[in-house]
Amino acid sequence: MVSRILDASAFYAGIPFASQEKNYSTSVIFDEIKHIKKNHNAIKMLMETKRLEICDPEQEFIKKVLSKAKETGDFQDLSKGDISVIALCLQLGGELVTDDFAVSNTAKHLSLKVIPIMTKGISQLKDWVYFCSGCEKTFSEITFCPICGSKLSRKSAKKKSSSSPSANEPS
């Protein structure tokens, strides 16, 4: 059975509460979502019934995700929690359940299967660059132009066709 790794959006959509399958997430995501259904101890019940396991990825997988996110230009749009679930998915060889576009783009660039929840998911892989509308220069990992000080905007560097199917497409 393939491991399903959940980001925070999967919890907000109720995915683990409606499933009998075992799911995984990270301690960073757990800290973000532990207030969900707190009055009913729903998260605690998922853990006690072994339907949710909280574990953190090994450092080598975090480094791979960080490297890929910087390469694709998604790094600035990823939180620590986002990076942790992508890394755990990479480590476990599972499927990542998310509606976050930056998470999906980075994961698909790492050849991971992404299952969208309430959206169609991404249909194209993208590499992003940051550009200055004042100087018309492009940069990769900064937020302000070192030449004129303007805040940089993000645009697609090139389009690639997504090679992995979404949950809505036949496998």
Q: What is the pLDDT of residues 106-151, one digit of tens each?
A: 999 999 999 998 766 566 666 666 667 767 666 666 666 677 777 7
73 or 15, which is more confident: 15
- Structure token pair of residue 93: 């060889």
- Structure token pair of residue 123: 């249909």
Distance CA 15, CA 78 (A): 22
Q: What pLDDT band is residue 14 in, cutting at 50, 70 and 90? A: confident
The answer to whether 99 and 105 are in contact (CB under 8 A) is no
- Amino acid, single-letter form, for residue 31: D
Task: Give the pLDDT confidence score for residue 10 in this predicted structure.
Answer: 92
Q: What is the CA radius of gyration of the chain?
A: 17
Each residue's pLDDT tens digit, 148-166: 777 776 666 654 444 444 4
Range 56-61, long-range pairs (CB < 8 A, 24+ positions)? 56/26, 56/27, 56/28, 56/84, 56/88, 57/26, 57/84, 57/87, 57/88, 57/90, 57/91, 58/87, 58/91, 61/87, 61/88, 61/90, 61/91
The answer to whether 66 and 106 are in contact (CB under 8 A) is no
- Amino acid, single-letter form, for residue 14: G
Mean model confidence pLDDT for the chain: 81
Task: Give the pLDDT confidence score for residue 111 in this predicted structure.
Answer: 95
